[in-house]
Amino acid sequence: MLQIRDLKKQFKVDGRVVRILDIPEWTVEKGERVAITGPSGSGKSTLLHLVSGILRADSGEIVVNGQPLHSLAEAKRDAFRASSIGYVLQDFHLIPSLTARQNVEIAMNSRLSRKERKQVVDYWLEQVGLSDRGQHLPSQLSRGQQQRVAIVRALVNQPPLLLADEPTGSLDWETADEISSLLLDLSEAHGHTLIVVTHDLNMADRFPHCLNIQDINQVRREASPEQRVLRVKREEVTI
């Protein structure tokens, strides 16, 4: 589903070049569910932006579902992302003036008839336990419910690849656990490949594959004290 080779990305900050990513090789198989952890600033979000084609690599190859992203012009990358990649973010990014249903419909494939669109949205709202919330505005929903709507919006076109960047980052522990279950269960049931970036170690521990970005990225950064504590805790859990 995803092949990365010799990927390099750097940014210019105050006239200074900062190397962020240097990944010789990384592969994610179709249907795999992977959690990526790692210190703050180690390039996790940047990696998701590159895989989704939001950002362009300085060099190297990224192939998503057989499509080499590096060879696509920007408009084609945008079209590919819309059809093939679902993206879930920490802060949901729902449109406040639209209902839950409308927030999903706006992301839908426009080739469907009105009736088909309704059926598809009904199906997905039911999948995430929000059948009775379709007419509610985001402000009338809890944060966990808003994230459920955002997950539906990401899945509604059935993209083969689902990316999530800190999807539980702004949720309390219990709601975060529910959202983790939902992402894992839905991706397994529908055969999506799922790549999640997270600091939530409870979430990461539930994934079949868990990877520290520093295991694949040759650019290494010193972890913050907070991250070192988290890593020690994680090692204790593993033992």
Ligand X SMILES: Nc1ncnc2c1ncn2[C@@H]1O[C@H](COP(=O)(O)OP(=O)(O)OP(=O)(O)O)[C@@H](O)[C@H]1O
Where do contacts with ligand X occur on this chain (CB under 6 A)? 11, 13, 20, 38, 40-46
SS3 135: coil
- CB of 17 vs ligand X, minimal distance in Å: 10
Rounded to a whole number of angstroms, the minimum distance from the CB of residue 59 to ligand X is 17
Residue type at 57 in one-letter notation: A
Q: How far is the CB of 63 from ligand X (least distance, A)?
A: 21
Beta bridge partners of 18: 11
Adjacency order of strands within the sheet including 59-64? 16-28, 2-13, 59-64, 67-68
User: Using CA atoms, how far apart are residues 91 and 86, in angstroms rounded to an integer?
Assistant: 15
* Least distance to ligand X, CB of residue 40, Å: 3
CA distance 30 to 50: 18
Q: Enter the tokens of residue 235.
A: 């090692």
